[in-house]
Amino acid sequence: MVDLPTVLRIVEQAKCQGKRVVWANGCFDILHVGHILYL
């Protein structure tokens, strides 16, 4: 886990590199097509 300022820095760096930052929650210990479609 990281603090909010660190998260904001990481997000800004990713965006500058043309990457997207997404948020997902849930239990992905058993991956199935529904999870992949959600992501």
The reported pTM is 0.57
Angle at 37 between CA 15 and CA 18, to 5 degrees: 15
pLDDT exceeds 80 at position 36: yes
Q: What is the pLDDT of residue 15?
A: 96
Report pLDDT for 28. Answer: 66
User: Which pLDDT band holds residue 39 (cuts at 50, 70, 90)?
Assistant: confident
Do residues 38 and 23 touch, judged by C-beta distance below 8 A? no
Render pLDDT for 6-32 as a digit per residue (tens, 0 to 9).
999 999 999 999 999 988 777 767 888
Domain ranges across the chain: 4-38
pLDDT attached to residue 17: 98
